[in-house]
Each structure stands twice: as structure tokens, then as C-alpha cells.
Structure 1
């Protein structure tokens, strides 16, 4: 009887004594999203030329409204061109206002100025962090004739954690557009 009692006690105490660390559940797996590097193509309008990622489909309503769609990401970069007619201050204020309208849903908006005096390109890129409708917006100008704005939108509910890889990819494409733009006279 004592032998059975000892086996039961050892059987009950062994699991308690042998485990020194708390078991930690495995985290849920996250899907790793990778997008192709993309080859560059040149898009020319009557007012400007720029390089874009060939991964995008170009949809143009006219030379003033261009959409670069990324079907695999369900995203797009919308570009809108305007001639400056003694209204540069208003155009810049409107571009900034549109960017900061996302502040209601955004956690943070980072404004990155861009200046390239050799090519007469001045502007800013706005990185919107958080669950806002647009993750990136920008404007560029030569400050005398040309003004171009752009914005990234996704055809999905804005969930910053989920769209972050795609938003970062499109933000790099926006930087490529800004850095390669050349104005036509």
C-alpha cells in the first residue's frame, strides 16, 4: 500500500517539479509580402517627363490626370497636374491641407521637403502613419509654371499594419517619380 501511495505522490509531483519555465504559445504567423523591384519606364506628357515602375499600369484620362495602378496590391498613385497662374501659394496650401486632412485618423504625418535647384524641382512628401485613407501624398513644382500633386490610395479598408509593406513600396515609387521628374517648357 505504501508503494502505491509513493508512486501516486511521485506521479503528481513530477510534472510540477520538472517544469521550470512557463510554456509560451507560438505567435500567429504573419504573411511576408515581397514585391518585385520593378524595371523603370518613362512616361511623357505635354508638361513633364518622369520615370515610373513598370509593375504599375498607366491609366490616363488626359495629360493632367494620370493614375498608376498596382493590381496585385489593390493600390494606386493618383497624379494631378496644374499650370501655375499667379496662384502658387494657394496650390501649395491646398496640397498641404489635403495631406493634413488625414490627421484625424493618422497617428503621425511626417513632412519631408524636397529641393533640387538644378532641375527646378521643389516640393514635399507627406508620409501618413496610421489608419488614414491615404498613406503618402506629395507635391512638386518649379515655382513658376508647373505644379504636380500625387497621392497613394488602396482599394481596401485602411489598416496600417496590413498595408504597410505595400504603402512603403509605393512610397519608394513616389520618391522615384519626384527625383526623376523633368519639366517641359
Structure 2
């Protein structure tokens, strides 16, 4: 009886030893896409419209109708659309339309933060909107001199809005949009 028990115990420990010697199977850690963008180099974009501004030299700018521009970033699959409108006693309507355009994204947005911009020396006043979440546009702005000129800008990505995926590109372009606002000069 003692021999039988000893044999069973030895078999039990041997099988335990054999089974426990396997490598532990662990799931692979999540990987992250590394996106390195070149450091932005800015140059003044001069044109025949009533304003000038600085733009990233890596961006491709194309004139649209009525002093509007599309500034595209092919590697990021994104475009900033600038729209110019002269003020003809309709400043309140233009401001309302610019704010309405931003707040139409409130359905998909997690948060919309406003950052006022004031530069009395250049007579440039405006608002920069950061739209967080899976909205169609992540950054928008408007600038005006409040008497003659009004410009709106918004960025759109050619991809399904997934903020986590486009966050690095959205951050890079957001910096370019803020630089555009800060360097804008009326002629």
C-alpha cells in the first residue's frame, strides 16, 4: 500500500513538473503607430487678396474662388479650408454662421474649447475652436478686423473621424492653424 501511494505521489509530482515547465503564454502588447512629422518651416504667403499670413512650407496651397484657399497636407490626408468674406454691415450674421458651423459638431464632439485671439496692433480679432472627439473637424477658427474683413478656417481629414488615430496629425495641423491666425495681416 505504501509503495502504491509513493508511486502515485511520484507520478503526480512528475506530471506537475512536466506541465509547469512550459513558457507562459502572454498576449502581445498593444502597438502604436509612430508618426514623425518634419519640423514646421513657415514662410509668408503673399497674394492679391486683402490679407497675408504665414504657412507651413510642407503644405500645398491652392487658390479657390473669392480669396478662399485650400491648404492641403497630402501625407496626413488633411486640408484646411479658408473662406474670406467682406463685411458689409453683416458682422453679426458672419459671427453667428461661424459659431453655428462649429457647434454643429456638438453631437459627435466630447468637448469644444474656445480660445479667443486678440491682436489690436494688427487689428486681428477672432476665436479658435478645438473640437475633441470623433467630429468631422478638430479645429476651426475665425478672424476679423470687425469692419471690412472676415475669414473662417477649418480642417478636414480624408478618413473616418477617429480622434485617437488622427490625434498626432490633428495636433500638428492645429499648430499651423494657430500660426496662420497669429501671423495674419490685413492689407
TM-score of the pair, normalised by structure 2 = 0.88
What residue in structure 2 maps to residue 29 of structure 1? 31
**1:84-103 correspondence to structure 2 within 5 Å:** 84-103=87-106
Describe how 1:1-185 pairs up with structure 2 within 5 A: 4-13=7-16, 25-45=27-47, 46-62=49-65, 64-184=67-187
Deviation at 1:37, TM superposition (A): 1.1
Compute the RMSD of aligned alpha carbons: 2.1
Structure 1 residue 24: deviation in Å?
A: 5.7
Displacement of 1:40: 1.0
Q: CA deviation at 1:27?
A: 2.5
Aligned residues between the structures = 181
Return 26-35 or 108-117, whichever deviates more. 26-35
SS at 1:10 equivalent? helix
Instruction: State the SS of the aligned residue for 1:114.
Output: strand
Relative to 1, partners in 2 of residues 1:13 and 1:106: Cα closer, same or farther, differing over 3 Å?
Answer: same
**Cα distance change, pair 32–15 in 1 and its aligned pair in 2 (3 A):** farther
Instruction: Could you tell me which runs of 5 or more consecutive residues in structure 2 were left unpaired when the two chains were aligned.
Output: none
Is the alpha carbon distance of 1:178 and 1:15 closer, same or farther for their aligned partners in structure 2, counting shifts above 3 Å? farther
The runs of 5 or more residues in structure 1 that have no matched partner are none
Q: 2 CA distance for matches of 1:173 and 1:6?
A: 73
Tell me the CA shift for residue 26 of structure 1.
3.5
Q: Matches of 2:7 and 2:87 in 1, distance apart? A: 95
